[in-house]
Chain A
Amino acid sequence: MTQKLVIIGNGMAPGRMLEHLFEEDATAYDVTIFNAEPRVNYNRLMLSPVLSGEKTYEDIITHDDAWYEANNVTLLKGAKITEIDRNLKTVTSEAGVVASYDKLVIATGSNPFIIPLPGHDLDGVLVYRDLDDVGAMLTAAKSKGRAVVIGGGLLGLEAAAGLKARGMDVTVLHLMPTLMERQLDPAAGYLLEKAIKDKGIEVLTEVNSKEILGKDGRVSGITLDDGTVIDASIVIMAVGIRPSFSLAKDADIDCNRGILVDDKMQTSDPDVYALGECVEHRGDCYGLVAPLYEMAKVLANNLTGGNAEFTGSVTATKLKVTGVDLYSAGDFAEADDREEIVLRDAAQGIYKRLVLKENRIIGAVQYGETTDGPWFFDLLKKGTDISEMRDSLIFGQAYQGGASLDPMQAVAALPDDAEICGCNGICKSVIVTAITDKKLNTLDEVRSHTKASASCGTCTGLVEQLMSVTLGDTYDPSKVAAVCPCTDLGHDDVRRLIQVKSLKSIPAVMQELEWKTSCGCAKCRPALNYYLVSDWPGEYEDDYQSRYINERVHANIQKDGTYSVVPRMWGGMTSSDELRAIADVVDKFDIPAVKVTGGQRIDMLGVKKEDLLGVWSDLGDAGFVSGQAYAKGLRTVKTCVGSDWCRFGTQDSTGFGIRIEKFMWGSWTPAKLKLAVSGCPRNCSEATCKDIGVICVDSGYDIHFAGAAGLDIKGTELLGHASSEDEALEYIVALTQLYREQGHYLERIYKWAKRVGVDEIRSQILDDDIGRKNLYQRFVYSQKFAQHDPWSERVSGKDKHEFNPLAIFGQEAAE
């Protein structure tokens, strides 16, 4: 029988462990994961780019829902384990869910340490550990003001730089004389301080905080030991982490500073393993991913009957603050039996120091120029005797053997086993072999096949150089991602060529643009079909076989193969007649579930495919058309009650919403399009997180766009103001048409806006009157061919075969 494996915590260490486990044996265990965080697994190292706005949460997901599904892993999100019962071999969550295990893995990571200063429990005192912390910081950053960061280590400085990038004033308080003193010697710490200050961040060293001040339960400032008072609207504590082991301790598993494990990652209970930041191994606790990934590999091997061992590892640190280049590894304290080699170039702000013991490197610090970091680290880990190259060692690898300084040659000269990606422990030969054997051409491909540069990303440059060295001129780092493996062209090129070459059918596109497959794939065909529908209204005939099933049969497929049916309820308004007709349909076709959707209308779920035509026919008789709840096209226009009823309503938001929906329904767009109109800034229809939203005000209509409230959450951008309904409609329609013409297939409006620029869009819609009117006209023209209710078309016979079996025969038929 398959054994039950339960994992507590869904961080980076167990994520990697499962990948190795499934590589070794995909069926050995039935896996259940409990995660206190209410989400899938993401790359924690990349929280700082999310904080600074360089990346989104979506960009940093490492294992999405589909991954858990495909690997048959049960992931319980937002489920914190509060008890382990080793006699019954069960774990219990806060909400009372009990799961039994044959093997248990504890991977609870660590907890940020909170200094128990007076006021530490005020609102606005934050730590920096997970996505919720980033969310809290971003909310606080909206109100600008000053952030005080306590702790000038890796996390504190990343938080400070991120908050500064978001427009806050930032002060870093550090107890020690120089920043990052655990990783840097004082000289490098000094250079770092200068660079941080150059970013406009205030740095105070050798200061001790005394009390966090509050007002109405919220942070208002902080006092220091010397009496200085600093105003602050948030305080971030980044003073260190403590392995999270109380759960294990309560279950009488041996713990010290962390959960004690042996070289096989086994705890004092042979059926319980632990890995990640929560463990203590041979006296060490780790706070960086590279050693955790090694543990992950060892544990996966042991869980599948192997006996690999983890014997500890040395770590190297890089700081991920844009514009600061810093690398440190090993031990660099001064001592009698140690020597050092130092290189300083004040003009260029470069500082390098190697600490040697018995002719071997034991510590390396580099600031300002770090390309040789991995090479030094490699020599350090291998304990290479450097006596032979001692004189030129500090100048780096390129100087060894008199080679020139070209970085490409330096990469080419690296030995095969030189480590390129420290986080993942990937060496040069692994990457080169993957590139040549698997014919990899893009950085993304190399990432997904080797994991190199997939964690903290600081070795991306090295990986790219390695790709250039291996692939020669065929590698072009600026190359855009192809639509799919059937072509090398990106979406923009395909859209442009369809226009330039007047391509009007899918076979024509594939022929002219030299598709590599005979008839495309499930990725490119729907994209091409959309581009053609959008570019050649009235000329191109929609190809149903190139549409996803939902759009082909105008209903949403459910997990059991039945469908759901959602009719339009214009602007969310309905009537007793409509409700009665829905009730009758539900009874007549024995529809198992009826639900009010998040889009202000009604969903009938569990309709059999054979019944769809009958359902639509009855709904059509009552005046309904398809709600297109399946379409990459106009979905809903949510409204509030507005001036018709509401005492605050400034305009007829309901009427305007209905008008927009009636004008725009049926139109196809690159991805789904959802609108809302609110009657006043109280915004009850949530217009400011929609693709396009209208907020009515006394003087007219504020038009917003590019919001998101699904996989990402983002408030809208203001497009502009219109003083009449007609004018507002023209802006909205022109904006939609611009998006239809420029968007990549499956790219929501907010992503398109991010790609082409909000200002650019604003100026095309607001400043160019003729352009806007033309966009509006093109939309109106294409609606002539789009506004046909697909349900009534189907009911009246179009492609009827879709809904009936070709033949039915049972056992009798064959006798």
Chain B
Amino acid sequence: MNAFKKNWIKIGKLSDIPKRGSRCVKNGDLTIALFRSADDKVFALEDKCPHKNGPLSQGIVHDGCVTCPLHNWVISLETGEVQGPDEGSTLSFPIKQDGDDILLGLQTSSDGIK
């Protein structure tokens, strides 16, 4: 049996991400996009639009959402759910903000990070 536990990884500082902007973190083959909202909250989603895999990190951040750069789907930063008439969702990851530090929560099992 694999044992699961949440692992908080420090990935950088709030000031590394532009306000209403985004930066990426690479975890093996998985790219995770970190978004910073206008009120300095940080969110993490897989950098892959549920529509056609557009890189969400390259979109425009507004009101708790990001608009995909390829065909303008709007995705909630909080839940990864697609908003409005379209449907789908993107993986989202928990974030802890400790002062200026940003910690990304990943599940680790005995065979690696999930």
Contact = CB atoms under 8 A, between A and B. Distances in A.
B69 A557 contact: yes
Nearest to B13: A806
Contacts of A806: 11-12, 16-17, 23-25, 34
A809 B62 contact: no
Nearest to B34: A806
Interface in B19-65: 19-21, 23-28, 31, 34, 38-39, 51-55, 58-63
Contacts of B17: 806
B28 A70 contact: no
B60 A805 contact: no
Contact of B7 (A26, A801, A814): A814
Contacts of A546: 20, 60
Contacts of B34: 806
B7 A808 contact: no
Contacts of A69: 52, 71
A117 interface: no
B91 interface: no
B92 interface: no
B11 A66 contact: no
Nearest to B69: A549
Interface in A514-532: 517-522, 525-526
Interface residues of B, number: 43
B86 interface: yes
B18 A814 contact: no
Contacts of B97: none
A602 B19 CA distance: 35
B99 interface: no
A561 interface: yes
Contacts of B108: 814
Contacts of A544: 18, 21
A547 to B, nearest CB: 8
Given A545-B18, A806-B17, A522 B71 contact: no
B16 A801 contact: yes
Contact of B86 (A70, A519, A548, A805): A70
B18 A801 contact: yes
B8 to A, nearest CB: 11
A549 B51 CA distance: 18
B106 interface: yes
A66 B87 CA distance: 15
Interface in A39-76: 66, 69-70
Contacts of A519: 20, 38, 62-63
A266 B108 CA distance: 56
A805 B24 CA distance: 5
A781 to B, nearest CB: 29
B41 to A, nearest CB: 12
A811 interface: yes
A807 B26 contact: yes
A270 interface: no
B9 A809 contact: yes
Contacts of A808: 25-27
A142 interface: no
A447 to B, nearest CB: 16
Contacts of B74: 522
A553 B57 CA distance: 12
Contacts of A805: 23-26, 31
Contacts of B72: 522
A546 B67 CA distance: 11
A517 B65 CA distance: 12
Interface in B66-112: 67, 69-72, 74, 86-87, 106, 108, 112
B25 A561 contact: no
B112 A518 contact: no
Given A808-B25, A814-B7, A545 B61 contact: yes
Contacts of B25: 805-809
Nearest to A815: B112
Q: Is the interface of A mostly helix, strand, loop or mixed?
A: mixed
Nearest to B66: A522
A754 interface: no
The winner among A546, A806, A808 for most chain B CB atoms within 10 A is A806
Given A805-B24, A809-B9, A548 B71 contact: no
Contact of B112 (A522, A557, A811): A811
Contacts of B55: 557, 561
Nearest to B102: A806
A763 to B, nearest CB: 39
A559 interface: yes
A377 to B, nearest CB: 33
A522 B27 CA distance: 29
A628 B77 CA distance: 31
Given A545-B21, A806-B16, A811-B113, A521 B28 contact: no
A810 B26 CA distance: 8
Most chain A Cβ neighbours within 10 Å, of B19, B28, B61, B62: B62
Contacts of A549: 58-59, 69
A740 to B, nearest CB: 23
Contact of B20 (A66, A526, A545): A545
Nearest to B52: A559
Contact of A517 (B12, B16, B63): B63
Given A549-B59, A814-B106, A801 B67 contact: no
B23 A810 contact: no
A806 B9 CA distance: 13
Given A70-B51, A545-B19, A809-B26, A525 B60 contact: yes
Contact of A520 (B11, B21, B39, B62): B62
Contacts of A521: 60, 62-63, 67
Nearest to B38: A519
A806 B55 CA distance: 15
B60 A522 contact: yes
B45 to A, nearest CB: 14
Nearest to B64: A518
A807 B106 contact: no
Contact of B62 (A70, A517, A807): A517
A544 B61 CA distance: 11
A518 B60 contact: no
B71 A66 contact: yes
B38 A518 contact: yes
A561 B55 CA distance: 6
A199 B103 CA distance: 75
A68 to B, nearest CB: 11
Contacts of A522: 59-60, 62, 67, 72, 74
Contacts of B61: 545
Interface in A544-603: 544-546, 548-549, 552-553, 557, 559, 561
Nearest to A69: B71
B13 to A, nearest CB: 9
Contacts of B53: 561
A70 B106 contact: no
A223 to B, nearest CB: 56
Contacts of B70: 557, 559
6 contacts: A546-B60, A557-B69, A561-B58, A805-B31, A809-B9, A809-B27
Interface of B: 7, 9, 11-12, 16-21, 23-28, 31, 34, 38-39, 51-55, 58-63, 67, 69-72, 74, 86-87, 106, 108, 112-113
Given A521-B67, A806-B16, A809-B9, 12 more contacts: A518-B38, A519-B62, A519-B63, A525-B60, A544-B18, A545-B18, A557-B70, A559-B52, A807-B11, A807-B25, A810-B28, A814-B106
Q: Which are the 6 A-B pairs with shortest beta-carbon distances? A: A522-B67, A806-B23, A549-B58, A549-B69, A545-B20, A522-B60
Interface of A: 26, 66, 69-70, 517-522, 525-526, 544-546, 548-549, 552-553, 557, 559, 561, 799, 801, 805-811, 814
